[in-house]
Structure 1
Amino acid sequence: MPATSLRALLRKLVRGARYEGLVAMPGLGDAELEPPGAGALRFTLPDLSPLPARENVGEMLHRMGAPVVVEDRVGSVPLRGPGNLIVVAAPHDAALGPAMALAEAVRGQLRTSGLIEAYRIPSVEGRREAAAARAEAAASGQPVVVAYGLGRPAWTATHAAAAERLNADQTWLVVDARHKHADTAAWVAAVQTRLVVHALAVVGAAETSTPRTVERLGIPVGWTDQSPLWN
């Protein structure tokens, strides 16, 4: 199928979905697509219009003949394995509270990183320190939870790239249900340019009349106002 026709069908059939994957399309060289490796191109489909909630996007792409390789996504249940590394990211210092609660729930070790520091909580920066934190946690049979400060929303993509170097097994984003959905969606999209996001920790849900708006982000909600939903 010609590349132009494939893109047209993708837009028509996958309206409203944000779907990230690796698609092998030999010969396609559009400037806006960034190749992550030989023979494959990484892309994110735009949000065009509503899509039925239960529609299987991967199945539709398969029927079209597009070979798609999607990264396995751990759901909204936090990892508990020894040495597992979970990043909880948010603007400014908003990740610290949910990360502390999550670490307590999984009986894990707590660390900080990025633009966030906390008294008596060790920090990790980069691959080597993250690997050392993993090894220490694995030796004690615990996971490690990292509260990651992404700074101002305008800096999100840059600092998400630094967070990517921690090579987390699972990434949670802290979102505020009281904020405008468009602003939250833009921030989440910026994070997703560098990180695979597995779950949301939602704060402020009890202080808004529209707490379920965050579900429109298309990411499983695992935590609401520091109360786990996986039990």
Structure 2
Amino acid sequence: MRKRLFVAITLALSIMLTACGSNKASVESNSTEETQDSNLSAEDSAKQAYEVLNASADSADRIMSSVLAAWYFSIDKGNDYVLEDYYSGVYDFSNDLGLDTSAVDTAFKEVIKGTTYETMFTSQAFKEPAICVKLALQCYQDAGIIDTTKELLSDAKQDIKNAESAEPSASYLEDLKKYHSEIQSYLDYTLSPTGSYKDCSSEVETYRANLKTFKNNLAFDLE
């Protein structure tokens, strides 16, 4: 199995674990060992791209699920911590998002750095949706998952180019390119969500439907 696919599997496992900060080294150390193989057949290159794109899509969606959960946490529970101890908020946030408490604590301190919440009214930060969203993203950034997802998308793009060079008329190329573009767009939106919570949720469902369609269309040729 190609090492890049091992990275994809490592990534898929890492986003399932609660110890958000514990997997950074393994993800990064394996990703640096991978080299591109331009000597594969068009179909093999396409299959590699497809597998890595699937892992990238799953990762982007896992991050976005946490973003939405963090946003909802602020709306639903944020005001509960105005008079509570800061660590009560950290514990509940971690529990709701399935993240490691120490990782959330570390990320929180980074997110509020330079704000009034750094020195006073710290627990009140949970009532700010923007801060909660940044907190979720910071956890994934600290774990190396965001950077690894970007790297996987870059690798997949090169595989698509290799497949196109080997067989320019291959029927699956156009869908692979569209699949890649949609995942990239989804990841970009995940890292900078806009609108209201309702608007964001609706946009996410559109992305998910589109990605499912591309994946299913490609599965016929590449699975």
TM-score (norm 2): 0.27
TM-score (norm 1): 0.26
Higher RCO, 1 or 2 (CA under 8 Å, sep at least 6)?
A: 2
Structure number with higher helix proportion: 2
